[in-house]
């Protein structure tokens, strides 16, 4: 565990990557690190392999890039916003493609497990967004949705008190649709009770 935690960094220019080691290789990590360092960002990372997680599969990001509030503010307001966001989009698409490849190879081996990637954007201490990007989507759909992230962040109302991250998925029009996780879980429980 000490080795796992040794790759975690802190700072205003740090973006964090949570992942499972078998889904991203060392070469993949090096590619992501190289891409974001070109715009002055540092990569922090944590391999979740071997760490138990209690989660609801549909509302959980298997691999996620975490952007803290200074980075999000720079993207929204900063002078280098375009280059920084482009770098994050390129890294996001790169990770999504790797996941899609892994998913397709698992399907061929009949060990299919639905995989996803996402962005966790911390707007401030009270407000965050989880943006889930499923592996089954087309590249065109993913790119169109990523192009709309900055507008989504700008349109997000800041919470007065701390609340869990708002959870979004991509709809058929490549727009971000908010999902009420509590309501979806309630429906699932009622459905299971009827069976």
Domain layout of the chain by residue ranges? 2-194
Residues 110 and 44: their CA atoms lie apart, in Å, by: 33
CB 18 within 8 A of CB 117: no
CB 41 within 8 A of CB 84: yes
Residues 79 and 27: their CA atoms lie apart, in Å, by: 31
Q: Encoding tokens for residue 146?
A: 């990523």
Q: Is residue 7 helix, strand or coil?
A: coil
Q: Encoding tokens for residue 47?
A: 């391999």
Cβ neighbours around 17 below 10 Å, total: 22
Closest CA to 32 of 122, 121, 93: 93
Q: What is the pLDDT along the chain (195 residues), one digit of tens a residue?
A: 577 678 889 888 999 999 887 788 889 999 999 999 999 999 999 988 765 544 455 677 888 999 998 888 888 776 566 888 999 999 999 999 988 877 655 555 555 567 789 999 999 999 999 999 988 889 999 999 999 999 999 999 999 999 989 999 999 899 999 998 878 777 776 776 776
């Amino acid at each position: 565990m000490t080795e796992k935690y040794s790759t975690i960094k802190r700072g205003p220019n740090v973006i964090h990557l949570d992942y499972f080691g078998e889904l991203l290789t060392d070469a993949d990590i090096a590619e992501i690190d190289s891409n974001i360092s070109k715009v002055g960002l540092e990569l922090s990372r944590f391999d979740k392999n071997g760490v138990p997680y209690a989660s609801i599969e549909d509302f959980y990001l298997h691999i996620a890039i975490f952007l803290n509030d200074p980075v999000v503010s720079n993207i929204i307001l900063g002078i280098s916003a375009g280059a920084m966001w482009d770098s994050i989009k390129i890294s996001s698409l790169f990770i999504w493609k790797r996941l899609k490849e892994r998913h397709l190879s698992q399907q061929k081996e009949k060990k299919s497990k639905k995989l996803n990637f996402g962005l966790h954007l911390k707007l401030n201490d009270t407000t965050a967004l989880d943006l889930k990007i499923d592996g089954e989507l087309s590249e065109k759909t993913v790119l169109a949705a990523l192009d709309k992230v900055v507008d989504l962040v700008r349109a997000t109302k800041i919470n007065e008190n701390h609340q869990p991250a708002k959870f979004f998925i991509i709809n058929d029009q490549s727009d971000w649709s908010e999902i009420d996780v509590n309501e979806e879980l309630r429906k699932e429980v009622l459905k299971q009770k009827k069976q």
